[in-house]
Amino acid sequence: MNALFTQMSHWVAPTLFRPSLFLWTRAKHTLKTNRSVARRFRVRGNGSLIRNKAGHQHNTGYKSRSRSNRLGQSTSIKEPKMEKKLQRLI
């Protein structure tokens, strides 16, 4: 019996019989937040994303005031597929 016990001590039980591992394998994986996307986009109340327009940070001296004001406003994501991809990353 003693020899049998030493052989059995190295035996690893299947996942089904080890509750801690069984629960761990059943947990659903969630994606991490992509921090670069989280900084560039904001989520509106209805779930859509808004972004800032490019071209307003520097070299604005030669741009007209209306153009500069227009570039300072935020806008939504136009393509639904791209918006869905970005929502998964946030």
Query: How does DSSP assign the chain, residue by residue?
Result: -HHHHHHHTTPPPPGGG-HHHHHHHHSPP-PPP-HHHHHHEEE-TTS-EEEEPSS-SS--SSS-HHHHHHHHSEEE---HHHHHHHHHH-
In the prediction, which pLDDT does 78 show? 93
Which residues of the chain fall short of a pLDDT of 70?
Answer: 1-27
Total number of domains in the chain: 1
In the prediction, which pLDDT does 29 show? 79
In the prediction, which pLDDT does 47 show? 92
In the prediction, which pLDDT does 26 show? 64
Per the domain annotation, does 40 fall within a domain?
Answer: yes
Amino acid at 52: N
Record the tokens describing residue 30, joined without a space: 């969630």
Per the domain annotation, does 23 fall within a domain?
Answer: yes
Per the domain annotation, does 10 fall within a domain?
Answer: no
Domain hosting 37: range is: 15-55+63-89
In the prediction, which pLDDT does 20 show? 57
In the prediction, which pLDDT does 49 show? 96
Per the domain annotation, does 8 fall within a domain?
Answer: no
In the prediction, which pLDDT does 59 show? 95
